[in-house]
Amino acid sequence: MDQFLAFTVVGLSTAAIYAVIGSGLVLTHTTAGVFNFAHGAAGMLAAFSYWQLAVGWEWPVPLALATVLLVLAPAFGLFVERVLMRPVQALGEAERLVMTVALLTGCIALARWVWDPNTARPLAPFFADRSAIRLGPASMTWHQAVTMAVAVAVAAALWFLLHRTRAGTEMRASVDDRALAGLTGADPLRAGRLAWTLGIQLAAVGGILIAPTVALDAQQLSLLIVSAYTAAVFGRLRSLPLTFLGAVVVGLLEAYLAGYLPRNDFLPGLRLAAPALLLLLALLAFPHRRLRGRDRRLVRVPLPTARGSLVFAGSVVLLAVVLVTVLTEDAIISYGAVFSLGVIALSFVPLAGFTGQISLCQLSIAGIGAVVWGHLGAHGELWALPVAVLIAAGVGALVALPALRLSGVYLALGTAAFAVILDRWVFTLPAFDVFGVRVTLFDQGSVPVTGPDLFGWHLTSPTQLLLLAAVLLALASLAVAALRRGRIGRRLIALRDSEAAFATLGGRLLGAKVAVFALSAGLAGLGGALYGMQLQTVTAEQFNLVAGLPIFLIAVIGGLGAVGTGLFAGLAFVVPTQLFAELGSWAHDLSTLLIALAGMGLAHSPAGVAPRMHAEWAKLARDRTLFRALLGVLALCWLLAATNAVNGGLALVAALVAALSLNARASARRQPAPDIPVEWWGLRRPWKPEDGEVLSRATAAS
């Protein structure tokens, strides 16, 4: 009984933190219409800042607290509202979601860059010098008591704010309809600013309170707050009282699991993954509405031509050939991942680009592909590659079942929870038997991975593996392009635009969703196996949620609907990472930070970079003379670099300069006449004989 009471006190104290953080999440969600994935990361940054001030620079605790909670947190909240969120407010739910994922990635990278992850940063609990308060047989530390008191104060203050002040009324009015609230004299912008300021302050309070009980680690602390998300989902992201109740349920459940779960090899991971598991269950159990409204601006899904797809696939293989003939063996190892990560990024295209289903667990599924290939293809057995793809596809189909109940941000949250369950629990399991079949994952360590046997050759060298990955990326890109052009592509886009219309026309939602999840998971599994071959040994950490976020962001930057996104993402992820790695290990997080910043910037351009690049370079491709000239220059540069006549870097620069100047020339040659409005025809440009007919037709049509 004493033990039970002790666990209850711990549970309630944790619950108080979750309640504070969860209420901040609900506040920003209801007022600004944004589910802030980076809410936990904001709390993490606050905890690090507090450590820096109170411990690092030895400021007095009250001054450090006041600086973080009253200056830094509100400033960060206002920055997020003004610079990041307001520009995407008018866009769709997906863009707002991407923005917060970019912010999460950026916050983690920033914290790791500023505060070296290899240094321990202990943070003392509040009033650690005072003796515990006795509550009958149990006891409560002053830190726990302060935490609970803060939660109660937050609950009371929020109730007062929302129900007894004008600002609170404005916030509640903005929940229902921002535009309408504006017409009635309320100021939705002020309500938004206040919500972000308060929301981030609450995250900061939670972060500072939770930090002394766990290690100060950027990634762990950002994800630890998954439990607060569960509490908010209990409150259906709307109700503060239900969020507090949810926090109590989650906090107690975690404390009892930690105390009473039997100790064996299979369960330590479950304890770590329990919050994510609860989140997934809560998402499925509680019905919820989609976030307000539909996407206001539909992002077109590019329609590749058969010829264009073939040219692109050929270019992928050609690029690989150029790389292996120009680069040194070390560089081939470093840049080999361009194509395998490209396949993983391509897996977002049918799922997120065509169907609009945002999955954040693609890299985890790639991990399954890698580990299955590692075990079954341990001696290069080629048959094991399709088996790895099929098993990954099966896991994808499994994810699709809950996905039927989830959409938009809830699906993203659910798949993120799934990724956490995989990397914290499933991937850490020792070997086990299922119906007599021995299942081995990462063997609680690392798994060696080799290349496949192909036509009697065992592909093991970095060159062979790079070429294999490039050929498979080219084939996968062709397949996805064919999918977009055909019946299935149309069907997936239709499903995205209106599930109701799709169903009432006879479409099967379950079949279509399971198929697309399985297909993209299969692609991710293939990419994972190829990535594993290049890494030679794989560990669970290489495939965790946080590692997968930059790949997702780059795929978004590339354009989720464009087939070229696979190659773009591979290049944009690997090349800067390698270049920064050459600067030193300190620069690793800088490249992730830059990716996050690019994600934040390019959320303004929802169609992505790949379609824009395609449009910009299409003119050159259509100009036969200039295109032949380009091919000639490229071939010459390649020849000079491959024969070591000139330095590879110099050849690359020469090729780029030639390509850019030829493209500029092609654009100038095909400059269209400026678009003159119809009422100025005959004035700003001469009247043409066909203008009369054009006007007559337009008038008749309208």
- From residue 561, how far is each of 269, 366, 609 by CA, in Å? 36, 20, 11
CA 361/CA 367 separation, integer angstroms: 10
- 67-70: Cβ within 8 A, 24+ apart: 68/204, 68/208, 69/201, 69/204, 69/205, 69/208
Nearest distance in Å: CB 141, other proteins: 45
| Shortest Å, Cβ 496 to other proteins | 7
Residue 464: phi and psi, rounded to 5, are: -60, -40
- What Å distances lie between residue 312 and 475, 564, 568, CA to CA? 10, 8, 12
| Rounded CA separation 657/650 (Å) | 11
Task: Name the minimum Å distance from CB 293 to other proteins.
Answer: 12
Nearer to other proteins, 493 or 655 (CB): 493
Question: What is the DSSP code string of 620-654?
Answer: HHH-HHHHHHHHHHHHHHHHHHHTTSS-HHHHHHH
Distance in Å, CB of 306 to other proteins, minimum = 17
Report the nearest approach of other proteins to the CB of residue 215 (Å). Answer: 46
Nearest residue (CB) to other proteins, 163 versus 294: 294
Taking the CA atoms of 179, 184, 189 and 193 in sequence, report the sign of the dihedral they define.
negative
Shortest distance in whole angstroms from residue 312 CB to other proteins: 22
Q: Which is nearer to other proteins, 294 or 612 (CB)?
A: 294
CA distances for 378 relative to 364, 374, 447, 531, angstroms: 20, 5, 10, 15
Determine the straight-line distance between the first and last CA of the chain, rounded to whole angstroms.
80
One-letter amino acid at 157 equals A
Secondary structure in 3-state letters for 507-551: CCHHHHHHHHHHHHHHHHHHHHHHHHHHHCEEEHHHHCHHHHHHH
| Secondary structure letter of residue 211 according to DSSP | G
Q: Is 584 exposed, middle or buried (0-12, 13-18, 19+ CB in 10 A)?
A: exposed
- Nearest approach in angstroms of CB 36 to other proteins is 28
List Cα–Cα distances, 537 to 150, 364, 532, in angstroms: 47, 16, 7
Cα-Cα-Cα-Cα dihedral sign, residues 453, 456, 462, 467? negative
Tokens matching residue 662: 């030829």
Amino acid at 388: A
Q: How far apart are CA 682 and CA 686, in angstroms?
A: 5
Residue 133 or 698 with smaller CB distance to other proteins? 698
Least gap, CB of 147 to other proteins (angstroms): 37
**Contact residues for other proteins, defined by CB under 8 A:** 298-301, 487, 490-491, 493-494, 496-498, 500-509, 701
Q: How near is the Cβ of 487 to other proteins at its closest, in Å? A: 5
Of the candidates 32, 19, 6, 4, the one whose C-alpha atom is nearest the C-alpha of residue 409 is 32
Which residue, 499 or 541, has its beta carbon nearer to other proteins? 499
Structure-token pair, residue 171: 């916030």
For residue 219, give the nearest of 443, 549, 569, 570 by alpha carbon: 549
**How many other CB atoms are there within 10 angstroms of residue 652's CB atom?**
15
User: Least separation, in Å, of the C-beta of 514 and other proteins?
Assistant: 14
Instruction: Choose between 90 and 500: whose C-beta lies nearer to other proteins.
Output: 500
CB of 498 to other proteins, least distance (A): 4
Least spacing, CB of residue 491 vs other proteins, in Å: 6
2 vs 176 by CB, closer to other proteins: 176
User: Of the candidates 270, 279, 201, which has an alpha carbon nearest to the alpha carbon of residue 20?
Assistant: 201
Kindly tell me which of 86 and 485 has the beta carbon lying closer to other proteins.
485
Question: In the complex with other proteins, which residue's Cβ is closer, 329 or 497?
Answer: 497
- Considering the complex, state which of residue 494 and residue 587 has its C-beta at the smaller distance from other proteins: 494
> Looking at beta carbons only, is 500 or 668 nearer to other proteins?
500
Provide the minimum distance between the beta carbon of 701 and other proteins in the complex, in angstroms, as a whole number. Answer: 7
Q: Work out the widest C-alpha separation in the chain, in whole angstroms.
A: 98
109 with 585: CB under 8 angstroms?
no
Which residue's CB is nearer to other proteins, number 60 or number 293?
A: 293
Of residues 155 and 514, the one with the C-beta less far from other proteins: 514
Q: How far is the CB of 295 from other proteins (least distance, A)?
A: 9
Per DSSP, the three-state class of 563 is: coil
Which is nearer to other proteins, 107 or 483 (by Cβ)? 483
Nearest of 449, 279, 483, 458 to residue 377 by alpha carbon: 449
Identity of the residue, 378 or 509, whose beta carbon is nearer to other proteins in the bound complex: 509
Question: Cβ 607 to other proteins, closest distance in Å?
Answer: 11
